[in-house]
Structure 1
Amino acid sequence: MNQEAARQEQTDGASRPRFGVMISTLGMRPELRELLQSLATQTEPPYAVGIADQGTSTLVADVVREFESRLPIHLTRTESRGLSAGRNDAINASPSDITHYLFPNDTSTYPERLLERLGEYLGGADVGAMSYVDGLGVRNAAPAVRPPELTLAEVFSIIEAGMTVSARRLLEVGGFDEMIGTGSSGKRQSGEGTDLLLRMMQRGPLSVRWLPELRVMGVTQGYGLSPGAEASKARGYGYGYGYLLQHWRFPVGRRIRAIIGPIILSLRRQLRWRVGVQSALGRLDGLIAAMRETTRRPDAQGRDR
C-alpha cells in the first residue's frame, strides 16, 4: 500500500485517529534522521509529520528531502526559540483535520507498530500515556491504579515525548505555554507538557488511556552534555518542576519529597551528586518563585488560590 492510499484508508476509518507527529529541532541532532526513519517504517503511517526548524543551517532541510517521498512531511523554518514554541509552530503549519498530536523529541524513535497499536488502543480518550524509555530504563511508570480521568496524582506519570493528546483539547487552551520548556526565554526549563495537561484539566475532565506497553525510545537528560552542562540543565529542569508543584497547589508532602528526592537518588548513585544537588536547588527555587507570585489564578481543580 502506498503512502497516499494508507493515508486515505486511515481518513475513511471514522474510529481511527489521524496522528500528527510534531517535532521541534535546532538541527544539531543526527538522531533526527533515525526518528524520521522510524516514522517512515511504521505499519500504520502518520497522517502528518510537522518539523519546526529553529536552526540556521540547511541540515534539517537536507534530511527532510530524504523523506519527502515516504512521509507526509512539512518543514517550517522559524525564528521562534524553545521547544514549546517550535511545537506550536509545527502545529500551526499542520493540516487542520488532525485528531491527535504526538511530540517526540528529535532524539526519539518509535517501534514500527507503535502508531498502529496506539490507534487500536486509544479509543475516544483525550490523552494516551505511553512509556518513555532511555538508557536508564522506563522514566515514567504508569500508576498502579489507572483511573479513566486524569487527576493531579497521575499527571506527572505522563511525559511529552510519550504522550498523544486530542487536537481539539489542545487547541482549546492555545497549545504549549512558550515561556515554559527547554530553550524558552523563561526560567522554567521543564514542565511544558504537564502544564498543558493541567490547563486542559482546568477546562473539564480529561479522559486518559494508560498504555505502558507502548514504548517510545529516547535518550537520557544528560545525553551529550559535559558534567557542568548537565548540572546546569538539571537546575533549570528542577526550577520548572518545583514551580509547577507550587503553582498548581500539589500536596505539601509532594513538594517536600520533590526537594529531597534528587539528593536521595544521588546517594543511591542513580544520579551524580552534583546533578542531584542542582536539581534539588532548582526545585526549591521554583517553589519559592511560585509562592511569591501575586497573581491569583485557579488551580487544576478550579479552586481560587
Structure 2
Amino acid sequence: MRFSLVVATVGRSAEVRALLLSLQRQAVQSFEVIIVDQNADDRLEPIVAEFSATMTILHMRTSLRLCNRARNLGARHATGEIVTFPDDDCEYTQDVLEQADRFFRTHPGHGFLTGTVLLPDGSFGRSGRWLKQDSAVDTQTVWTSLIEFNLFVRREVFEELGGFDEMIGPGTRFGSSEGQDLALRMLARNVPGYYLYHLRIMHPDKPVSLNIARAFSYGLGAGRVMRKNRCDMRTVSQFLIRPAGGFVVNLVRLDMPIARYYFLTFLGRLAGYRAQVAKAA
C-alpha cells in the first residue's frame, strides 16, 4: 500500500462523501482510507458502505473529540508507506496522489512533502500566506508552506516522532499549528521536507465570523509552537508585527470585524508564546 489517508471527522457526511468521490478520480489508486469517526450517531455508515466496494476503508469509532488524538489513533492502524491527513471537508484535485507519489520516488531522502490550498471555485481566496514557488521547507518557510490537510509524511518518520502533539490543535486550548510543530520536529532531526506550489487540495474558506471566533485559540497555537520549538526571535517578531499591523490598517479602514480578527490573533500569539504548559505524559 502506497498511501494511508487518515480522516478525523465529526458532524459532516456530505463533505466526507465528496472527499471519497474525489479519491475515486485519483490516477494513483494504491491507498487506504482510515476514517476516525467521532460522531455519536451512524451518519457515516451508508457512505462507508457505498465506497467500500471500490476502495479500502477502515472505519473506526471514538468518543474523544480531539482532532490530533484521532489522527494519531488512525495512523497507528496505517499500512501505507506515506501517511496524510485530509480534513473531512477537503476534496483532492485529480493529480494529488500522483504528484506526491512521483516526488517521494524521485526524492528518497526527503521525509515530508507539503502543498497549497484552493477554494472549491479554483481560486486562492483571501489567503496570501502561500509561497509562490517550489521551495525547501525550513524553519522560516514552514509558516508559509504548510497546512495539515496537505501534508504527506513517510510513515516510519511519523512513527519515530510519535505523531502529532495531542496537546496542540483543534479541540485543545492551543487550537492550531500542529502541522508546523510536526515539521519543525522533523527538521530538528535533519529530516528534509519540500513544498510543491502545484500540489493543491481544495478546501472551503471559513466564514469571517468563525475565523474571528477561532482567532485567539489559533493564535495561542502558533505562539505555543514557536516557543516549544525555540524559533528565533526574528520569526517570533514577524508573527507579532503582522497581526498588529493588520489590526491598525483595518481599524483605519473602519473594517471592525477584520480588525478584531487581527487583534485577537496578536493577543493569542503573544499569550501562546508566554504560556507555561505541563509536559504530556
Secondary structure in 2 matching 1:76: strand
Secondary structure in 2 matching 1:180: coil
* Change over 3 Å in CA distance of 1:219–1:46 after alignment to 2: farther
How much is the aligned-residue C-alpha RMSD, in angstroms? 2.4
1:153 pairs with one of 140, 155, 165: 140
Q: Is 1:284 paired with 2:257?
A: no
Secondary structure in 2 matching 1:214: strand
Secondary structure in 2 matching 1:121: helix
Aligned length: 266
One-letter amino acid of the structure 2 residue matched with residue 241 of structure 1:
A
**Alignment map for 1:85-234 (pairs within 5 Å):** 85-95=69-79, 98-122=80-104, 123=106, 124=108, 125-134=110-119, 136=125, 140-142=129-131, 146-147=135-136, 150-156=137-143, 157-184=145-172, 187-202=173-188, 204-220=189-205, 222-223=206-207, 227=209, 229-234=210-215
* Change over 3 Å in CA distance of 1:272–1:140 after alignment to 2: closer
1:302 match: none
> Relative contact order (C-alpha < 8 Å, sep 6+): which is higher?
2
CA contact (8 A) 1:131 1:139 kept: no
C-alpha separation in 2, matches of 1:278 and 1:131: 25
Name structure 2 gaps, 5 residues minimum. Answer: none
* Change over 3 Å in CA distance of 1:272–1:28 after alignment to 2: same
1:60 match: 44
One-letter amino acid of the structure 2 residue matched with residue 217 of structure 1:
M
1:8 match: none
One-letter amino acid of the structure 2 residue matched with residue 154 of structure 1:
T
Secondary structure in 2 matching 1:105: coil
| 1:138 Cα deviation after fit | 5.8
| 1:102 Cα deviation after fit | 1.1
| 1:119 Cα deviation after fit | 1.1
* Change over 3 Å in CA distance of 1:219–1:263 after alignment to 2: farther
1:118-157 deviation line (CA, Å, top 9, x unaligned): 212333221111112236256652376834xx43122222
1:82-105 deviation line (CA, Å, top 9, x unaligned): 11011111112232xx11111111
CA contact (8 A) 1:22 1:87 kept: yes
CA contact (8 A) 2:140 2:235 kept: no
1:41 pairs with one of 13, 17, 25: 25
**Alignment map for 1:208-287 (pairs within 5 Å):** 208-220=193-205, 222-223=206-207, 227=209, 229-266=210-247, 267=249, 272-287=258-273
* Change over 3 Å in CA distance of 1:63–1:246 after alignment to 2: same
One-letter amino acid of the structure 2 residue matched with residue 274 of structure 1:
R
TM-score, length-normalised on structure 1? 0.79
One-letter amino acid of the structure 2 residue matched with residue 194 of structure 1:
Q
C-alpha separation in 2, matches of 1:112 and 1:188: 33
Relative to structure 2, which stretch is displaced further, 156-165 or 236-245? Answer: 156-165
TM-score, length-normalised on structure 2? 0.86
Secondary structure in 2 matching 1:141: coil
1:223-280 deviation line (CA, Å, top 9, x unaligned): 4x7x2x5323111000000111222222223212212312433535797122111111
Secondary structure in 2 matching 1:59: coil
C-alpha separation in 2, matches of 1:29 and 1:280: 34
| 1:51 Cα deviation after fit | 0.6
C-alpha separation in 2, matches of 1:141 and 1:230: 18
